[in-house]
Amino acid sequence: MSVSDDAQYNFLTSECRYKNEKIIEAFNLFIKLSISIVAGVFFLDWKLPTDDLKRCKLSYGSDALFLLVGISMVLLILNNLRSWHGYRKEVSQLFTKVPPPKGPFWFSSEALMCVVIVLACIGFLMFNPL
């Protein structure tokens, strides 16, 4: 049983769109989780006295949590980008009118997302109020 070219093209392009959506969802999830962590840290800073011994443990815990969220979202973005590249490469090999992803800018938006996540992690580690 052979699959028509149109059906194969539709499947591959729908997978590319799906991977793009997952990349954007991962970045949006990072934004939501990081805002929640920062809000929790500011709440704890407001509630705990400055001489409380829990502050140090909570500071290390919040740093670790923020790093865990950042690293996992970067890995999720890169994994979906790798999958997208594979599907797009397959589309360009089967249908020669579709150009393959090439040049230094085909992944620029995903790279920018990863850079923003890394900078947010560094900023949180440097300016954690706990």
- Written as tens digits, the pLDDT of the chain (130 aa) is 688 888 989 999 999 999 999 999 999 999 999 999 999 999 999 999 988 889 999 999 999 999 999 999 999 999 999 999 999 999 999 998 889 988 889 999 999 999 999 999 999 999 999 8
Supply angle C-alpha 81, 24, 88, rounded to 5. Answer: 35
What is residue 103's predicted lDDT score, i.e. its pLDDT?
A: 86
Q: Are 115 and 51 in contact (CB under 8 A)?
A: no
Q: Is-contact 124 34, C-beta < 8 A? A: yes
Structure-block tokens of residue 125: 């580690």
Q: The whole model's pTM is what?
A: 0.92
pLDDT for res 104 = 83
Q: What is the pLDDT of residue 1?
A: 65
